[in-house]
A and B are shown apart, each in its own frame.
Chain A
């Protein structure tokens, strides 16, 4: 097992290098550069602009820029943000915290309610409860997340003003835990609803499949309690597809909230990336992309390791 993990991590290194290269090329291919964005004043003297470009190394040929960038990345220097005038790493780490607070809360909401609804629906298939749960989860699953966000604001912040319209804290005097949690309710619900519907559908479908198998009939005929058959037998086997789906969703903890963050003005990484793209903030964009690539690879690995742990039939060598 240890050997397998080590091998996979070593395999990641060339993938990361290729991923950085693709990002670098794609970003540089686009028209415009960060200096142009910063110097939107048409009267700025051309000599000054050239000087700025040279100071940031943007006047060198692109392959030289690439080599310099790669060398920096491998010494742990992810570069400098043109817009914030700070190293990108500090800003990214700060924004990640806000994003994770939002996405992890949403993920927990979707997991807890999704599993509960899925199990309830699968207990009496095609009953009234099951049909209404299935239909509503199908509808929620198809709704665009940013639209749900807008609806929640209209209902719970405008028509019935219980929650704040947006932001992460009250502008003046806010910022304590209670204030942040209060601001978290609507965005986390907007983001969690879709995932909840997804888990409801997944759990229901897999539970129904398991309940039709021979070992369940055998368990019933042994005279086991309903509880033991459901949770001790069927549900344990539903965990496997669930872990797959959670593993695949781990990267969404970092990127999946972008549209929700924008609607609610939440200071997260998705909103930062969106703004950075418009500002042509080269190193910021690259760093966020590379970070997401690494997170994706690690979460795929984590999902594989979790399989082996849950399912004794799987052995890696």
Chain B
């Protein structure tokens, strides 16, 4: 029984991968993300210099890109290339954790709302409506400014403020799926509500949440960059947004300070968007039938 289950999972995955790998752009996105993850893991070995090490002396500051510092140095004489490599850690970490928090909350709340319906659904959906009237970026800004700026705060706040979209999608899936015969069958066999929600309906309706999670990782990286850019990132970490914030004071004299972090942010966001598009094409049953 168990072996059969595992086998069907593997078969499912190969089918999914066949579908997904047809989309060349999405595969490129996966490759980029894998490279970035490897860079983040092996940052201490890949970076040629210590990203925090300041070099005192005018000759070390604002060095243009050269063979010793391939992307130049900043106003404290720190190596930009090494900082970019270390920044991968913070950005990816925040992106993945924030998107996961949003996905877990969004799926749970959406499932409850769609499955139970009635008053519970009404209350939850009104709450989502109110939530959507709050300007999220400023809410994040306010919480970060008022409760202190650590990397943990930043990712928890981003996660806690970006779930309503997923909730709406999952709720819609549940509303239509719970009327299907296979749910009726499970119910008549005496399956518990928990079993029906998590084992029957969710696997069939979770794909929009997976797709939006991919986009959300990119979105969270952008939000973190914006926050750090305003000086609300974690001063004890290197992040790409923080590098752009540093650059704000000197970008009129040193063009390489803003240019490179921005390019890296753009590339990673594109990669997650490509993967999101690919997942949508491969997982959306409506498109598959065509």
A residues at B contact (CB < 8 Å): 15, 18-19, 22, 26-27, 29-32, 138-139, 141-144, 146-147, 150-151, 153-154, 158-159, 165, 251, 255, 258-259, 262-263, 273-274, 277-278, 285, 289, 292-293, 296-297
Cross-chain contact of B130 among A22, A143, A251, A274 (Cβ < 8 A):
A22
Count of interface residues, chain B, beta-carbon cutoff 8 Å: 38
CA distance A150 to B252 in the complex (A): 9
- Distance between A291 CB and nearest chain B CB, rounded to angstroms: 10
Where chain B touches its partner, the secondary structure class is helix
Q: Looking at the complex, which of B50-58, B206-214, B262-270 is the stretch in contact with chain A?
A: B262-270
In the assembled complex, B273 has its CB within 8 A of some CB on chain A? yes
Contacts of A146 in B (CB 8 A): 226, 229, 244
Question: B34 an interface residue at 8 Å Cβ cutoff?
Answer: no
- A144–B265 CB distance below 8 A: yes
Q: Verify A296–B133 contact, CB threshold 8 A.
A: yes
Also in contact, A289 and B138, with CB within 8 A (given A30-B147, A154-B251): yes
Given the complex, which residues of A lie within 8 Å of B269, measured CB to CB? 142
Q: Is the interface of A mostly helix, strand, loop or mixed?
A: helix
Contact B226 A27 (CB under 8 A): no
Q: A19-B130, A154-B251, A277-B142 are in contact. Are A144 and B270 (CB under 8 A)?
A: no
CA distance A166 to B142 in the complex (A): 25
Inter-chain CA distance A151–B270, complex, in Å, is: 19
User: Nearest Cβ in chain A — how far from B142, in angstroms?
Assistant: 5
Which residues of B lie under 8 Å from residue A138 when comparing CB positions? 270, 273
Quick check: is B134 within 8 A (CB to CB) of the other chain?
yes
What separation, in Å, do the CA atoms of A138 and B29 have in the docked complex?
13
How far in angstroms is the closest Cβ of chain B from A33? Answer: 11
11 CB-based A-B contacts, threshold 8 Å: A19-B134, A22-B130, A31-B147, A139-B270, A144-B222, A150-B248, A154-B259, A259-B229, A259-B230, A277-B142, A292-B138
Tell me the smallest distance from the CB of A205 to a CB of chain B, in Å. 10
